Structure 1
Amino acid sequence: MLSVSGIDLNVDVLTKEEAIDHLVELMDKSGKLSDRKLFKEKVLSRETQFTTGIGDGIAIPHAKTTAVKEAGLAAMVVKNGVDFDSLDGKPAYLFFMIAASENENNLHLDALARLSAMLMDEVFRKRLMQAETKMEFLTLIDEKESAIAKDKENSSSESYRVLAVTACPTGIAHTYMAAEELENRGKLLGIPVKAETQGADGAKNVLTAEEIAKADGIIIAADKNVDLSRFDGKPVIVTKVSDGIHKSEELINRIVNKEAKIYHNNQNENAKEESESLGHGIYKHLMNGVSHMLPFVIGGGILIALAFLFDDYTIDPSNFGKNTPVAAYLKTVGEFSFGMMLPILAGYIAMSIADRPGLAVGFIGGMVANAGVTFSNPAGGDVNAGFLGALFAGFVGGYIVLALKKACSKIPHSLEGIKPMLIYPVAGILLTAVVTTMINPFVGAINDSLNGALNGMESSSKILLGIVVAGMQSTDMGGPINKASYVFATSQLAEGNFEIMAAVMAGGMIPPLAIALCTTFFKNRFTEKERQSGMVNYLLGLSFISEGAIPFAASDPLRVIPACIIGSATAGGLSMLFGCTLRAPHGGIFVLPTMGNPLAYALAIVIGSFVGCFVLALLKKPKMSEEMQ
């Protein structure tokens, strides 16, 4: 994939975009591209998702697109280094660009895996940096690739003492870097290590049952969920993928020195990072339910909103939303989706707590809460347990299944099969339904009180509520406070309170928009790199993606966060003042036609954005000319 024409060893670039430009030029010279401009656009688009500056002075930008004729590599050395937004915050010196064709199945991922593995060797990186000719550079890569292949061949018959599974959210560079570091560190320590990678193109180097049985223990270096059931009875350490890279020796020694806890799948003793608190565990379970629930809420909410948009109110006001065939179909399908919201929430909370046996139990608990079942009326309809009831049902169901697992732990091994097929679903569903039915009247009373208070609010009180829930969107931009505000708003959709959702979405749109406006009208407050990033925030803000403001907030929290909170609170208060309503829990400006009082809502967004922009401009001092570069 790499040819002499695609290598440059003495490059002088000052910015990330210049570095990408030069790599694209090298790739084009190699004859790999059919459309140089489109390829560059795809590379830049990939960088907006997650930086390819993987740290340790390395960057591996890449793209898979129809603009590539055949897969290729380009490489360059920037001896003075360049800021590439690397994960470790340090300059990048060694660059490899990967171009993959749409016709080639995951070839770029294979190249990424090989490069990440080779570049974990610091001595090898230094030799590449010091290469005097392009042929020397190519020879070093050939020799390293051959050495790795030979090592794998020689170690294929080894009995591994330590096994590992590595995985990162994107499933690309860090997954393979952690695996390579663990295996290499094991060689240095004289301890054979095998690492399974769960990357973007599936699991590779998969651990066998025989290897698991013989191993001293297993290291799970992952930033996403990994199925641990196959490691039942083995010592297991669960940690972050970055620890697999930076703490490999410590992790291996903990396994060999028998310092890891035994994992028991039948008791659901999930291995966790030692630092995880009870509060964080509860939050993680809740977010697991919410993340699975949101597609149903968003899809159903937008379809219901479109039904009202396409309907004719004058035909039958009492049947508004279903007067025309198109509207009736959209509203019916939307209601099906919306109706799944609470069971899905409860089911996936319970599954997060108790693994797969908790899913059905939580799901039924959510349905019991959604129906408002009571002992006096098993058919339901007497109480409105709603969102809170389903939330309680999810946690109740999850912990009931955990209790059942513990109670059944002494059942003979020959009867293991009856637990997941009989005991957990029957006893779990029944007990969860009974407990949920018991709490439904109390939760219903809380819901009725809350709804009554919201509906009975005077205009001034609603404005204050809008200010608070919208301001919460900017406090941590995607964090717990932001999500608490959002979850509250989505819960009120099911209760028919549509004004709160409008205020919350307004609040979430403001941070990126305020920053984008400030980088446009007050350029002397920002560096060139920040001004370029600011332009992307227009689209993110209009799409209700508040996380676009996080890089700015992280670099200057004492100025950016207060400005965004003030702007968001302004927009939320105005949305309430204007009586704007929103039935769809997402979509940003793109669902404006489906809203109640859309023009006033757009005005609230504009005013809030400019308020945030001006406050930020007042708080930030102009930079010196050399700082703006």
Structure 2
Amino acid sequence: MKDEVKNLRSYLMTGVSYMIPIVVIGGVLIALSIALSGVEAGTGANVTNPFLQKMLNVGVKAFGLMVPVLAGFIAFGIADRPGIAPGLVGGALANEIGAGFLGGIIAGFVAGYTARWVKSWNVPKQIRPIMPIFVIPLVTTGIVGIIMYIIGTPISGFMNFMTEGLKSMSTGNAVFLAIVMGAMIAFDMGGPMNKVAFMFAAAMIGEGVYTVMGPVAVAICIPPLAMGTAALLKPKKYTEAEKEAGKGAIAMGLIGITEGAIPFAAADPVRVIPSIMVGSAVGAAVAAIGKVGDHAPHGGPIVLPVVDNKIMFIIAVLVGMAVTVIMVNTLKKEVKEEKYEKESDEVSIDFN
């Protein structure tokens, strides 16, 4: 059992190690384009300069590869090269159904184990040459596609259920609503729960209520800022790849890109996700107590020009960061750096 858990972590880290450069490239380019353009009340990030628009587009395209690459190389870790194509497709489907990086992890494991199972089939000699280029990817992709579309329906229904729940809570205690939304923002960092909370807060701006987006804007930036800071403060508890990702995460946090924390959460979800959820919830609660308002559908310190009660916004972010940093660095243990990537000159790959 212990060896199997170790294997699961190794497969996961293979995907994370290949995903990190994509996250950094996409996140930093998006952050730069938005930082140089700024945000406006009511519209949020408004990139109009042609060069910055192209920079933003490149960053968005790179970011769009994040989940497919994560899924593809988790599958690669499990089944070698025959797992890559089905994993990539599964990750793309996770993006399409709005399942986020957690959906990508599911897709990667399903693709990897399915491809490994198909590879084990005892087929006639005449069929073996086409197994790695036709049979394995086709059968595996079909199974992954069916599973991803099956989980897509409940995800959509759950998002509608959560939206209605937030609407019912909006007439009650503002601090409790902020805690719930802060935790949702951090839970999947761009996934279904994050999107529900963000879209609800953005809709409230249209109603002239800015004190819902205020706590959400605080919660949005806490995961990447806190995880980047945590890696700087306790470097022995993070891999070299995570420490590099931490620098990009801080840049993304300043611009309100929650996804900057995904490499940390994907590598160690049991410790990281609860830590960022608690930190974001606490930060959002402090913002609600301080009646922080945000006039732009965006988050992070970049929105300060359009924020009501700027001092409390900053305090809320710092408090939430401190909670996450302390919690995650208390929970995490020192790591022994491992090489998770499979190098072609070091690994003998079986195509049959």
* TM tier, smaller: 0.5 to 0.7
Q: Residues 362 and 583 (structure 1 numbering): CA distance in 2 closer, same or farther, change over 3 Å?
A: farther
Alignment pair present for 1:403 and 2:117: yes
Tell whether the 8 Å contact from 2:100 to 2:188 is kept in structure 1 after alignment: no
Tell whether the 8 Å contact from 2:38 to 2:302 is kept in structure 1 after alignment: no
Aligned position for 2:35 = 309
Q: Residues 386 and 457 (structure 1 numbering): CA distance in 2 closer, same or farther, change over 3 Å?
A: farther
Of 349, 357, 365, 2:74 maps to: 349
Q: How do residues 235-254 of structure 1 correspond to structure 2 at under 5 angstroms?
A: none
Alignment pair present for 1:390 and 2:104: yes
Q: How do residues 324-403 of structure 1 correspond to structure 2 at under 5 angstroms?
A: 324-372=49-97, 384-403=98-117
Alignment pair present for 1:428 and 2:155: no
Give, in angstroms, the shift of residue 351 of structure 1. 1.9
Unaligned runs of 5+ in 1: 1-273, 373-383, 470-484, 516-538, 547-564, 585-590, 614-629
Tell whether the 8 Å contact from 1:308 to 1:321 is kept in structure 2 after alignment: yes
Q: How do residues 204-283 of structure 1 correspond to structure 2 at under 5 angstroms?
A: 275-278=2-5, 281-283=7-9
Aligned position for 2:221 = 502
Give, in angstroms, the shift of residue 360 of structure 1. 0.8
Tell me the distance in 1 between the aligned counterparts of 2:2 and 2:137. 32
Higher relative CO (CA 8 A, sep ≥ 6), structure 1 or 2? Answer: 2
Of 2, 15, 18, 1:289 maps to: 15
Q: How do residues 472-491 of structure 1 correspond to structure 2 at under 5 angstroms?
A: 488-491=188-191
Give, in angstroms, the shift of residue 364 of structure 1. 0.8
Q: How do residues 37-186 of structure 1 correspond to structure 2 at under 5 angstroms?
A: none
Q: Residues 606 and 444 (structure 1 numbering): CA distance in 2 closer, same or farther, change over 3 Å?
A: closer
Tell whether the 8 Å contact from 1:357 to 1:424 is kept in structure 2 after alignment: yes
Q: Percent identity over the alignment?
A: 24
Tell me the distance in 2 between the aligned counterparts of 1:463 and 1:300. 29
Code of the aligned partner of 2:120: K
Tell whether the 8 Å contact from 2:99 to 2:192 is kept in structure 1 after alignment: no
Tell whether the 8 Å contact from 2:39 to 2:302 is kept in structure 1 after alignment: no
* C-alpha distance after superposition, 1:532-580 (max 9, x if no partner): xxxxxxx99988999xxxxxxxxxxxxxxxxxx9988754643566367
Alignment pair present for 1:463 and 2:178: yes
Code of the aligned partner of 2:191: S
Tell me the distance in 2 between the aligned counterparts of 1:275 and 1:353. 17
* C-alpha distance after superposition, 1:425-477 (max 9, x if no partner): 222223322332233222332344345546765432343247768xxxxxxxx
Tell me the distance in 1 between the aligned counterparts of 2:105 and 2:324. 35
Give the SS at the match of 1:342.
Answer: helix
Give the SS at the match of 1:276.
Answer: helix
Give, in angstroms, the shift of residue 328 of structure 1. 1.6
* C-alpha distance after superposition, 1:345-395 (max 9, x if no partner): 2212222222221111011122233234xxxxxxxxxxx444444333222
Tell whether the 8 Å contact from 1:304 to 1:583 is kept in structure 2 after alignment: no
Tell me the distance in 1 between the aligned counterparts of 2:195 and 2:106. 17
Tell whether the 8 Å contact from 1:285 to 1:352 is kept in structure 2 after alignment: yes
Tell whether the 8 Å contact from 2:94 to 2:100 is kept in structure 1 after alignment: yes
Tell me the distance in 2 between the aligned counterparts of 1:455 and 1:297. 33
Aligned position for 2:208 = none
Q: Residues 342 and 506 (structure 1 numbering): CA distance in 2 closer, same or farther, change over 3 Å?
A: closer
Tell whether the 8 Å contact from 2:43 to 2:297 is kept in structure 1 after alignment: no
Tell me the distance in 1 between the aligned counterparts of 2:152 and 2:321. 42
* C-alpha distance after superposition, 1:52-78 (max 9, x if no partner): xxxxxxxxxxxxxxxxxxxxxxxxxxx
Tell me the distance in 1 between the aligned counterparts of 2:45 and 2:115. 43
Q: Residues 425 and 514 (structure 1 numbering): CA distance in 2 closer, same or farther, change over 3 Å?
A: closer
Give the SS at the match of 1:323.
Answer: coil
Of 285, 307, 316, 1:604 maps to: 316
Code of the aligned partner of 2:70: L
Unaligned runs of 5+ in 2: 199-215, 235-245, 254-259, 262-276, 326-352
* C-alpha distance after superposition, 1:197-252 (max 9, x if no partner): xxxxxxxxxxxxxxxxxxxxxxxxxxxxxxxxxxxxxxxxxxxxxxxxxxxxxxxx
Aligned position for 1:323 = 48
Aligned position for 1:299 = 25
Tell whether the 8 Å contact from 2:91 to 2:104 is kept in structure 1 after alignment: yes
Of 500-509 and 423-432, the range deviating more from structure 2: 500-509
Tell whether the 8 Å contact from 1:514 to 1:609 is kept in structure 2 after alignment: no
Give, in angstroms, the shift of residue 301 of structure 1. 3.3
Tell me the distance in 2 between the aligned counterparts of 1:601 and 1:347. 39
Tell me the distance in 1 between the aligned counterparts of 2:283 and 2:86. 41
Alignment pair present for 1:443 and 2:155: yes
Q: Residues 572 and 421 (structure 1 numbering): CA distance in 2 closer, same or farther, change over 3 Å?
A: same
Code of the aligned partner of 1:405: K
Aligned position for 1:101 = none
Give, in angstroms, the shift of residue 417 of structure 1. 2.9
Tell whether the 8 Å contact from 1:362 to 1:393 is kept in structure 2 after alignment: yes
Code of the aligned partner of 2:2: S
Code of the aligned partner of 1:349: I
Code of the aligned partner of 1:429: T
Q: Residues 290 and 572 (structure 1 numbering): CA distance in 2 closer, same or farther, change over 3 Å?
A: farther
Tell whether the 8 Å contact from 1:490 to 1:501 is kept in structure 2 after alignment: no
Give the SS at the match of 1:495.
Answer: helix
Structure whose CA Rg is larger: 1
Aligned position for 2:346 = none
Q: Residues 303 and 612 (structure 1 numbering): CA distance in 2 closer, same or farther, change over 3 Å?
A: closer
Tell whether the 8 Å contact from 2:99 to 2:191 is kept in structure 1 after alignment: no
Give, in angstroms, the shift of residue 404 of structure 1. 0.7
Q: Residues 511 and 327 (structure 1 numbering): CA distance in 2 closer, same or farther, change over 3 Å?
A: closer
Tell me the distance in 1 between the aligned counterparts of 2:233 and 2:120. 52
Q: Residues 468 and 433 (structure 1 numbering): CA distance in 2 closer, same or farther, change over 3 Å?
A: closer
Give the SS at the match of 1:358.
Answer: helix
Give, in angstroms, the shift of residue 607 of structure 1. 5.0
Tell me the distance in 2 between the aligned counterparts of 1:387 and 1:612. 20
